[in-house]
Amino acid sequence: MRGLLVTMPSVVNEVKKIIDDYSSFSIVTELNDDVSGYDVIGIVGTDKFIIMNLHKLNSWEGPVLTVGFGLSFLNSVDITNLDKALSTIMSGNYDIEEILRLSVNAKGKKLPNAINEVAIFPARSAITLEYSLYVNNEYLWHDVADGLIISTPTGSTAYAMSAGGPLIHSRAQVFEIVPVNSTNLARVPVIVPSDSIITIRDLISRSRVEVIIDGSIRTYVGNEVKITSGKPLKLIRVGEVSSAIGRYEKKISLLANMDLPPSAKFILKILEYEGQLTQKEIIEKTMLPSRTVRNALSILIRKGLIQRQVIIRGNKEVIVYSLKSTGQ
């Protein structure tokens, strides 16, 4: 079996030590277009890094091992269990879970498949969006709202949930459509079969309307977006597998049992998604006061949840903060 591991630069040395015993695995920090000849591809990093590379693997139909830090909704294993996971893969003693993805067509252009959600919003905040919603060419409603989210079961624990959508079991063959701050109280989240054709037409706004794939890829949509089921992601699972609901419950329980102020929990989530950040970058992304951020970082370090490191960016030493690896 020939494998490729795409690794965040910050953990490349740690991963290199692990794969010394696995000569059939190669390691890179940046994914090339040509991945032919590999039997399995692994991605090691934060949720953001994993999603970014899954978008690059849009046409890849082989199994994918996702390796993250601690308990996450997307990663197959924690980085501390990578050695064991590779051994299991080499023996062939693993399962494949097919993760639903969304295929998006806007202005006749096919976009990378969404793992979590497709969000349709005006480019400028505080401006509403007018649209008509169709499922399998059947008219459902016309609405005025801040935006609209179409989510997979995996994404039901993310943006869609914060907008009022339900949690969906990871093996349910459905998608959810969630209006965001509709002006009509009758516009509630709708669950549709995964083979549905979801069409959003008659898009009107005082601002340019964008479609956003997994919070990272943005493009102008024109006046219509068509969303269907994409090719499923073949995610490698080793050991006990939890549903999206189960993982959400574990994560909420973990945070609830921590004596942490809300600001520290917020920063913990930002670091989980973004990876290494400087204090200035954390302030910019959270929009919290600098004093609040300093206090929260101090608490998180004291509790052993994050680490402070000095790294080289360009020709300059900078101090960054990142999650500490913990077993699942």
Structure confidence by residue, pLDDT tens digits, 128-172? 999 999 999 999 999 999 999 999 998 887 778 878 888 888 889
Question: How much is the pLDDT for 328?
Answer: 39
Is 118 among the domain residues?
yes
The pTM for the full model equals: 0.77
> Looking at the structure, do residues 74 and 117 belong to the same domain, yes or no?
no
> Looking at the structure, do residues 86 and 138 belong to the same domain, yes or no?
no
Q: Which residues carry out catalysis?
A: 47
Containing H/E element for 180?
strand 174-180
Q: Which residues contact 172 (CB under 8 A, 6 or more apart)?
A: 153
Question: How much is the pLDDT for 118?
Answer: 95
Q: How does strand 147-151 pair with strand 138-145?
A: unpaired
Q: Which residues contact 244 (CB under 8 A, 6 or more apart)?
A: 73, 153, 154, 156, 157, 167, 168, 169, 170
> Looking at the structure, do residues 86 and 151 belong to the same domain, yes or no?
no
- C-beta of residue 144 within 8 angstroms of C-beta of residue 130: yes
126: left (phi over 0), alpha (psi -120 to 50) or beta: left
CATH code of the domain covering residue 270: 1.10.10.10
Lowest mean pLDDT of 74-78, 117-121, 216-220, 276-280, name the range. 74-78
> Looking at the structure, do residues 71 and 132 belong to the same domain, yes or no?
no
CATH code of the domain covering residue 81: 3.40.50.10330
Is 247 among the domain residues?
no
Output the furthest CA–CA distance in the chain (Å, rounded).
Answer: 59
- C-beta of residue 133 within 8 angstroms of C-beta of residue 200: yes
Q: Which domain holds residue 84?
A: 3-99+233-241
Question: How much is the pLDDT for 94?
Answer: 87
> Looking at the structure, do residues 202 and 284 belong to the same domain, yes or no?
no
> Looking at the structure, do residues 182 and 199 belong to the same domain, yes or no?
yes
CATH code of the domain covering residue 176: 2.60.200.30
Question: How much is the pLDDT for 325?
Answer: 55
Mean pLDDT score of the chain? 86
Q: Structural domain tally of the chain?
A: 3
Is 328 among the domain residues?
no
> Looking at the structure, do residues 111 and 53 belong to the same domain, yes or no?
no
